[in-house]
Structures are given as structure tokens and as C-alpha cells.
């Protein structure tokens, strides 16, 4: 699909992967809208990119999502690309951590329920344009689960399944469904992981290429190798990832103590 002249909403576009995607769309002459919960982060994004449009919106709250879409409809009239990017990653021990359930609930509320609320609210606008797309930023851990991020991995597995089914439900419509599975990306969200990471810009560039070539499911950098290892032996792929994260967390603990 074309990557210029669109109206694009990126949830969680005020930092990390979302901000890099916002910049990539701005560079290609699209109208870009971002949302997030922290007004200061949104204001900073506006200072960096004055042409960006911002909404204060917690996607885990359906009333805030619906208010944002009412405003988008009246201010812009259309929307033809939705990027479901907002997400939260927590590292914890489900057995021993007292906050495990609170952490897990927050991950499910934003990563999974929030994505459903936004997607449902966006559909009337997306269905009303000749060419449109829903992009979901999942993760390779949705396919190869990580015990250090067990509920996070579960939410991403659910988003992978949701994306595949939604793609089929929307087959006879103008809405194409894309899924991006990054490996570790160099953002604030995973600063406690000391391992090699791709840059947010690499994720944004891969997404733009996928849109242009109608490549609906993409894996980036090391995520590709893990995907193929998983096809060959799921247990082996899980073992590789478990070892990598355990080493990365230990290495970081050494650096910070």
C-alpha cells in the first residue's frame, strides 16, 4: 500500500518504537497523530516535530479511547493507518513476586485489551477509505515465550493470534492487517536487558518496507533466526531465548551493583 498521504494514528507514539515510526511517516508526508498517557512526553514530541498531532489517552480506558476517536473524526475526518504500538513490558517472577498479579493485569489491560479497544473504535473510519491498514507491533516473544516476561509474552501471543484472525475477517474489505515482530529494541522499556538490540529506526524502516510490499507478517533482525529455530524445534528456541535473557539480566545486575 502507499506510504505517503495517509492519516496515521500511532498509539504510544511519544517515545521509543512509536516515536521512530511517527518520524518515518512524517518524513513521507503523512498526517501523523500520536497518543500516550504522559502529557510531558507528548509535549516533547510536539517540540521535536511541530507538525505532529497529539492526544492524551490511556488506551486501557475505553471511555478515553472513544473520546479520542470522536475528536479524530471531527478534526481530521478520516484515518487510514492505525499502528497499535502502545505497550508495557514487565520483568518479574510469577511465583515469588508479590506484585505479579498487578503487573500481569496492567500488561493485559494495555497490551491486549487496549489494542482491542483502539482497533474496534478505529474500524468504522478504516472501513470508510479506499485503502487502509491496521499494524500491530507484537514481539518475537509472542511466538517464543520468555519466562522472564511471561504475561507480556502471553499478551503478544494473543495479539499474534488476533492479527491472523482479523486479517481473515477483513479479507473482503479495504483494510489490510500487518504484524511486526521485533527482537529486543533499544528503548527505555528494556533498559535493564544488557544484550544486542536493534534501533527503533530499524523497526520503523522495516514497517514502511512491509507496507510498500504488502508483507503482512514481518520479523526483524535476530527475530528471524529465532523464528526459524522455533519452526525447527520450539523447545530449542525457547532454551536459546531463556539463556540469552538470563545472561543479559545478570550482566546488567553486575553493571548496576
Ligand X SMILES: NC(=O)c1ccc[n+]([C@@H]2O[C@H](COP(=O)([O-])OP(=O)(O)OC[C@H]3O[C@@H](n4cnc5c(N)ncnc54)[C@H](OP(=O)(O)O)[C@@H]3O)[C@@H](O)[C@H]2O)c1
Question: Hey, what's the cell of 115?
Answer: 489494542
What HEC string does 20-85 produce?
A: HHHHHHHHCCCEEEEEECCHHHHHHHHHHCCCCEEEECCCCCHHHHHHHHHHHHHHHCCCCEEEEC
Task: Measure the CA angle with vertex 188, ends 186 and 189; round to 5°.
Answer: 95
Q: Is 115 in the site for ligand X (CB under 6 A)?
A: no
CB atoms within 10 A of CB 154: 18
Q: Is 41 in the site for ligand X (CB under 6 A)?
A: yes
Among 87, 104, 145, 221, which residue sits at the site for ligand X (rule: CB under 6 A)? 87
Q: How far is CA 144 from CA 117, 216, 218, in A?
A: 26, 19, 15
Q: Is 38 in the site for ligand X (CB under 6 A)?
A: yes
Q: Is 58 in the site for ligand X (CB under 6 A)?
A: yes
Task: Please tell me the count of residues contacting ligand X according to CB under 6 A.
Answer: 31
User: Closest separation between CB of residue 216 and ligand X, Å?
Assistant: 17
User: Closest separation between CB of residue 89 and ligand X, Å?
Assistant: 6
Q: Is 103 in the site for ligand X (CB under 6 A)?
A: no
Query: 77: phi > 0 → left, psi -120 to 50 → alpha, else beta; which?
Result: left
Residues 6+ positions from 40 with CB-CB distance below 8 Å: none
Residue 134 or 189: the one with the smaller Cβ distance to ligand X is: 189
> Per-residue x/- mask for ligand X, residues 139 to 168, rule CB under 6 A?
x-----------------------------
Of 117, 152, 216, 227, the catalytic one is: 152
> In the chain, count of helices (H) and strands (E)?
9, 7
Annotation says 216 is catalytic = no
User: Closest separation between CB of residue 171 and ligand X, Å?
Assistant: 25
Residue 16 or 145: the one with the smaller Cβ distance to ligand X is: 16
User: Closest separation between CB of residue 120 and ligand X, Å?
Assistant: 15
Quick one: DSSP state of residue 4? S
Helix (H) or strand (E) holding 211: helix 200-213
- 169-208 binders of ligand X (CB under 6 A): 182, 184-185, 187-190
Determine the 3-state secondary structure of 245 from DSSP: helix
Among 46, 78, 88, 192, which residue sits at the site for ligand X (rule: CB under 6 A)? 88
Q: How far is CA 200 from CA 135, 140, 151, 207, in A?
A: 16, 15, 23, 11
Residue 18 or 104: the one with the smaller Cβ distance to ligand X is: 18
- The stretch among 82-90, 124-132, 205-213, 245-253 that binds ligand X (CB under 6 A) is 82-90
- The stretch among 54-62, 120-128, 204-212, 231-239 that binds ligand X (CB under 6 A) is 54-62
Question: Could you list the residues that contact ligand X (CB under 6 A)?
Answer: 11-12, 14-18, 35-38, 41, 58-60, 85-89, 110, 114, 137, 139, 182, 184-185, 187-190
Amino acid at each position: 500500500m502507499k506510504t505517503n498521504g495517509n492519516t496515521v494514528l500511532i498509539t504510544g507514539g511519544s517515545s521509543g518504537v512509536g516515536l521512530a515510526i511517527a518520524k518515518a511517516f512524517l518524513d513521507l508526508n503523512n498526517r501523523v497523530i500520536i497518543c500516550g498517557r504522559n502529557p510531558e512526553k507528548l509535549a516533547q514530541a510536539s517540540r521535536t516535530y511541530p507538525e505532529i498531532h497529539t492526544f492524551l489517552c490511556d488506551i486501557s480506558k475505553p471511555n478515553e479511547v472513544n473520546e479520542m476517536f470522536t475528536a479524530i473524526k471531527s478534526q481530521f475526518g478520516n484515518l487510514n493507518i492505525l499502528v497499535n504500538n502502545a505497550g508495557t513490558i514487565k520483568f518479574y517472577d510469577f511465583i515469588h513476586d508479590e506484585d505479579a498479579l498487578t503487573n500481569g493485569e496492567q500488561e493485559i489491560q494495555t497490551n491486549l485489551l487496549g489494542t482491542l479497544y483502539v482497533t474496534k473504535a478505529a474500524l468504522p473510519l478504516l472501513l470508510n477509505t479506499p485503502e487502509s491498514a491496521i499494524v500491530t507491533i507484537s514481539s518475537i516473544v509472542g511466538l517464543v515465550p520468555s519466562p522472564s516476561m511471561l504475561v507480556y509474552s502471553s499478551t503478544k501471543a494473543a495479539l499474534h493470534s488476533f492479527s491472523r484472525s482479523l486479517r481473515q475477517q477483513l479479507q473482503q474489505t479495504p483494510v489490510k492487517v500487518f504484524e511486526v515482530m521485533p527482537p529486543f529494541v533499544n528503548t527505555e522499556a528494556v533498559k535493564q536487558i544488557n544484550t544486542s538490540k536493534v534501533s527503533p529506526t530499524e523497526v520503523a524502516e522495516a514497517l514502511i518496507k512491509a507496507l510498500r510490499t504488502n508483507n503482512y507478517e514481518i520479523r526483524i533482525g535476530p527475530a528471524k533466526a529465532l523464528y526459524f529455530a522455533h519452526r525447527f524445534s520450539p523447545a530449542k528456541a525457547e532454551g536459546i531465548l531463556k539463556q540469552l535473557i538470563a545472561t543479559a539480566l545478570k550482566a546488567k545486575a553486575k553493571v548496576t551493583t
